[in-house]
Amino acid sequence: MSELVLEQRIKSTASGRKVLQLAANFWFITAVFGQWLFTSYLVLLYGGSAVRGELHLWKEKLTHGYVPGDAIGNTAVAAHLLLAVIIMLLGSLQLVPQIRTRLPVFHRWSGRVYLLAVVATSIAGLYMLFVHGTVGGVVLMVAQSLDALLILVFAAVALRAALQRDFKTHRRWALRLFMVVSAVWFFRVGLMLWLVIHQAPVGFDPTTFTGPFVTFIAFAQYLVPLLVLECYFRAQDSADARIKIAMASVLVALTLAMALGIFGAWMGLWLPNL
């Protein structure tokens, strides 16, 4: 291989790497914006109703969200909501390279709080799931249980890699953890994207919340993001600029679809309840 060909290949790989990084940044910024919108909704609706002493609103918005006399169950619901807010805020900050580099102490301590929060909310979520049940029947129960188990496993692996100072492995498992932790958000965004496209509840019964689309999205809410992330890792590791550019194109398309779902969720789910 001539030096000229080698130089051109190096430049091509560098260009592909830059395009892929820009696409990843576009996805991340859009996702964080959407998650912070969801966080503001949780704070304003559930936090506001708690401050006003209107806990009955929790029951209207959540399946068994508030049960009079059930101290343990109500505490689990409150903890789940509070931890969800902490997770949404800290999760994105954990993945910002500038924060990791310039504020390492904050990164480490906020990371510990984040890991404790995701473990605690998973346990609280499992309690709510098996004691109070959920809409959608067995399918959603199985899917949500699997997601909680993946969160616990990924959190443990990410922590282990950090303690071993294997930061490349730690970052990749932290990204996988971010995806499965964000499943509840992906579910809402994916559902509203589907409704925006079809303008009707196609593929599911909105009353019982069952049907083929619900079965699909119950598992797709975390399996699809994980699949895309694994493809992104492979593209990152590849020396072929074409693979990087192809992955970047996929990320841009998925980001635009996600942005439409975020808009639909804000206009159809969150804003009307505030």
pLDDT of residue 61: 60
SS3 for 235-246, per residue?
A: HHHCCCHHHHHH
Interior CA angle at 247 toward 249 and 221, to 5°?
Answer: 95
The CA–CA distances, whole Å, from 17 to 4, 10, 192, 230, 243 equal 20, 10, 32, 16, 10
Tokens of 198: 């079809």
Contacts by 82-85, CB closer than 8 A, 24 or more apart = 83/117, 83/118, 83/120, 83/121, 83/124, 84/39, 84/42, 84/121, 84/184, 85/39, 85/42, 85/43
Position 74, amino acid: N
pLDDT of residue 122: 87
- Give 252's DSSP letter: H
CB atoms within 10 A of CB 214: 23
Cα distance between residue 143 and residue 149, in whole Å: 10
Identify the CA nearest to 177 among candidates 229, 130, 218.
Answer: 229
How many Cα atoms are found within 13 Å in the side-chain-facing hemisphere of 272? Answer: 7
Tokens of 97: 């390279």
Average pLDDT, consecutive stretches of 10 residues, N- to C-terminus, the chain (274 residues): 53 80 96 93 81 65 60 69 84 86 89 91 80 75 93 96 93 96 95 95 89 94 97 94 94 97 94 84
pTM (2 d.p.): 0.89
- Helix (H) or strand (E) holding 72, with range, is helix 71-94
pLDDT of residue 82: 79
SS3 for 163-208, per residue?
A: HCCCHHHHHHHHHHHHHHHCHHHHHHHHHHHHHHHHCCCCCCECCC
Position 197, amino acid: I
pLDDT of residue 71: 64
Position 147, amino acid: D
Tokens of 216: 């699909």
pLDDT of residue 203: 93
pLDDT of residue 223: 97
